[in-house]
Amino acid sequence: MVVLSRNNLFSGFQVGNSASTIVSHLQFADDTLILGDKSWANIRAMRAILLLFQSLSGLKVNFSKSCLVGVNVAHSWLAEAALVLNCKVGSIPFVYLGMPIGGNSRRLSFWEPLLNRIRSRPAGWSSKHLSFGDRLILLKSVLSSLPVYTLSFFKAPTDIISSIESLFNCFFLGEC
């Protein structure tokens, strides 16, 4: 993407006003987020670079798991572009590396997936048959680590912190 951007074959997303930075992609392990302006040239460049990557690396891009998301872009244009890229049309908010992107962290609905994850994790554990020490170890090593990643990026409303503490207490006391 960097080579395409430098050669004006792909235009990334501009961040900032005065000393702006152009961001064309974010990558972590096998997850890639490509950011760019709405243009057919960008769509063609994305398709070409992904197919070239497949050819050179021997790895396969899973287009059926890929999504095209637009901000202030007509759904009809996105649908056509997704057809060209052979992917789905996504919507905001979406999840990247387990983190909700584009949601409003002040809304309680933003935190619902995290709360559901905390609720569902102990479902397979029979907490009534575990000692207090066992429950404390599971609480400290497993349950308390679930919200850390999200809370390192977003400030949670007080109600959410209370809900998380309540779920932890419920598990520790063997009531859930």
The vertex-106 CA angle with 100 and 111, nearest 5°, equals 45
Please tell me the predicted confidence (pLDDT) of residue 2. 63
Please tell me the predicted confidence (pLDDT) of residue 127. 67
CA pair distance 171, 176, nearest whole angstrom:
5
CA pair distance 110, 97, nearest whole angstrom:
16
CA pair distance 172, 89, nearest whole angstrom:
42
Share of the chain above pLDDT 70, in %: 96
Helices (H), 58-107: 75-85
- Written as six digits, the tokens of 51 are 């197919």
CA pair distance 74, 9, nearest whole angstrom:
23
pLDDT tens column, 72-111: 899 999 999 999 999 999 988 888 887 888 889 999 889 9
pLDDT tens column, 32-53: 888 899 999 999 999 998 898 8
Cis peptide bond N-terminal to 113, omega within 30? no
Q: Per the confidence metrics, is the pTM higher than 0.75?
A: no
Residues 104 and 111: beta-carbon distance below 8 Å = no
Q: Label residue 173 left, alpha or beta by phi (over 0 means left) and psi (-120 to 50 means alpha).
A: alpha
